[in-house]
């Protein structure tokens, strides 16, 4: 049944607000989310059995969560080092005021960009990147990032080790 979910997700851009305002989640919705966070490939049947509802009810709930934009997609958790990206870093950026949308578009196009967040504090943007090696990381920071006119400064924090947290925590 994952094909139906993928078709529903493909109808609108990732991360875009979808449909009507989100409805409050009940305990069954939260249980469904926990199951799918642990295993995005879980079948409708197994989800329904684990939350004690019919398959039709589980299917309708998952589609509603997709339509409401609560579920933004399904993906695999990747060991970046084993996938050939041995260097990872969080990069903080200070940017020109009111340039977030322009900067975000340029950051999304960067090879290896994995997560982008507009934040408050001493810097404006937090960017997570995965690259094959430190040389490629250096090139990304010194050539690509610092050539974006709206980027005023960067600071690179190398990631030595990563741990994915269990969705229950």
Per DSSP, the residues of 43-103 read -HHHHHHHHTS-HHHHHHHHHHHHHTTS---------TTTTT--EEEEEEEEE-TT-HHHH
Work out the pLDDT band at 78, boundaries 50, 70, 90. Answer: confident
pTM: 0.72
pLDDT at residue number 12: 43
Work out the pLDDT band at 164, boundaries 50, 70, 90. Answer: confident
pLDDT at residue number 157: 97
């Amino acid at each position: 049944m994952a094909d139906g979910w993928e078709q529903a997700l493909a109808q609108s851009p990732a991360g875009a607000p979808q449909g009507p305002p989100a409805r409050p989640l009940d305990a069954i919705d939260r249980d469904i989310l926990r199951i799918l966070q642990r295993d995005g490939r879980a079948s409708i049947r197994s989800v329904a059995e684990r939350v004690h509802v019919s398959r039709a009810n589980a299917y309708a709930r998952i589609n509603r969560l997709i339509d409401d934009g609560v579920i933004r997609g399904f993906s695999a958790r990747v060991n970046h080092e084993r996938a050939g990206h041995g260097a990872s870093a969080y990069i903080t950026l200070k940017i020109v005021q009111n340039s977030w949308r322009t900067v975000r578009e340029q950051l999304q196009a960067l090879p290896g960009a994995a997560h982008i967040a507009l934040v408050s504090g001493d810097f404006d943007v937090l960017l997570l990147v995965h690259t094959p090696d430190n040389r490629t990381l250096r090139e990304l920071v010194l050539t690509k990032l610092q050539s974006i006119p709206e980027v005023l400064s960067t600071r690179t924090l190398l990631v030595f080790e990563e741990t994915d947290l269990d969705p229950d925590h």
